[in-house]
């Protein structure tokens, strides 16, 4: 009896894992291209509400930037 229940449970888990998909809980990543005269401050103001300094810090971390300098044409991932 126990073996039958274990077998059914194993089949159910296997079937569920075959059809399971990512939930995309974080949503799609947004990528912006730096325009001439853009700074991290202006990008953060355009795309985030609240404390701009916090948004700048998150952008720097997400893109592994050594500082706040960006160049036109550079692509940045917005967390």
Instruction: Tell me the C-alpha distance between 63 and 75, whole Å.
Output: 9
Task: Judge contact between 56 and 68, C-beta under 8 A.
Answer: yes
Q: pLDDT for 60-75, tens place per residue?
A: 999 999 988 999 999 9
The pTM is what? 0.63
Q: Supply the DSSP symbol for 31.
A: E
Looking at the domain 2-78, which fold is it?
Answer: Membrane-bound Lytic Murein Transglycosylase D; Chain A (3.10.350)
Question: Which token pair is 13?
Answer: 């888990």
Q: pLDDT for 8-35, tens place per residue?
A: 877 777 666 666 555 445 667 899 999 9
């Amino acid at each position: 009896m126990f073996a039958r229940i274990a077998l059914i449970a194993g089949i159910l888990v296997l079937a569920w894992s075959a059809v399971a998909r990512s939930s995309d809980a974080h949503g799609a990543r947004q990528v912006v291209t730096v325009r001439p005269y853009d700074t991290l401050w202006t990008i953060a103001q355009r795309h985030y509400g609240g404390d701009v300094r916090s948004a700048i810090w998150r952008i720097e971390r997400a893109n592994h930037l050594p500082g706040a300098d960006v160049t036109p044409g550079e692509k940045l991932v917005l967390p």
